[in-house]
Amino acid sequence: MNSPIKVGVLGARGRMGSEAVRAVGEAPDTELVAAINREDGLTGLLDGGAQVAVDLTHPDAVLDNIRFCVEHGIHVVVGTSGLGTPELATVRSWLADRPEVGVLVAPNFAIGAVLSMRFAELAAKFFESVEIVELHHPKKADAPSGTAARTAQVIAQARAEAGLGEVPDATTKELDGARGADVDGVRVHSVRMTGLVAHQEVLFGTEGETLTIRHDSYDRRSFMPGVLLSIREVGSRPGLTVGLDALLGI
């Protein structure tokens, strides 16, 4: 067996960071060499000899963290949000000087969520009908969820490329809102309910059959298998990679 990958976690005391600290410590092929918080500074990564840094900090801090790592030849797995198109271009420019370094930016580390979206994209062209039902705890502020909206967009694009027309719908008498939100022609329904965590169902229908792809996330630990997969893979993927999809090979 190879020696474990040396990992530093940035944002180690946060909700996600503390889970990452645990997961990296428990996995047999990774070793935690630095657990760094906002007040610590980043030199701990160098002291520990980190090969990979996992950034689970804050939109304000993430870009500086990435810069430091790239300059010091440390691969980075980024779970912090806030990297838009201009920020990603900046990261690419840093990487131009250090072509051996890998940076992986993933908006969602839950492998099940990423697979759901990809399967939905692959299935889309074979079904006349499609709708999405997403279900979350009642403290969520936005409806639909970002994941549901992106899934609808991906499906809509696949339908358009396959030349599919509108989803059939004979509704003539609707109580306002019953048929859900329209995201690029795909209906999305948002359920908010005490007891639930984060769940999504994509339903496809054609003559005589339906296909349902359902993802249930019960716990923020659901991100950890994706974080570990990213840690294992980022070193062999120099340059910038956006999205976990690339690592899943489908």
CA distance 227 to 53: 11
86/208 with CB nearer a copy of itself: 208
159 annotated as ligand-binding: no
Supply the minimum distance, in Å, between the C-beta of residue 67 and a copy of itself: 32
We find the least distance from the C-beta atom of residue 83 to a copy of itself, in angstroms, to be 21
Token pair 């609707």 is found at 174
Q: Which is nearer to a copy of itself, 61 or 203 (CB)?
A: 203
Torsional sign, CA 45, 110, 188, 88: positive
**β 239-242/198-206 pair status:** unpaired
Which CA distances in Å does 141 have to 91, 138, 192? Answer: 31, 8, 10
* Cβ proximity to a copy of itself, 217 vs 241, nearer residue: 217
Q: How far is the CB of 108 from a copy of itself (least distance, A)?
A: 11
Report the residue number, 68 or 204, with the smaller CB distance to a copy of itself: 204
Minimal distance, residue 142 CB to a copy of itself, in Å: 4
113 is in an annotated binding site: no
Taking the C-alpha atoms of residue 114 and residue 103, their distance in angstroms, rounded to an integer, is 18
| 79 annotated as belonging to a binding site for a ligand | yes
Catalytic machinery residues:
136, 140
* Burial call 97-133: b when 16+ CB within 10 Å, e when fewer: ebeebbbbbbbbbbbbbbbbbbbbbebbeebeebbbb
Binding site listing for NAD(+):
11-16, 79-81, 106-109
Binding site listing for (S)-2,3,4,5-tetrahydrodipicolinate:
137, 146-147
Binding site listing for NADP(+):
38
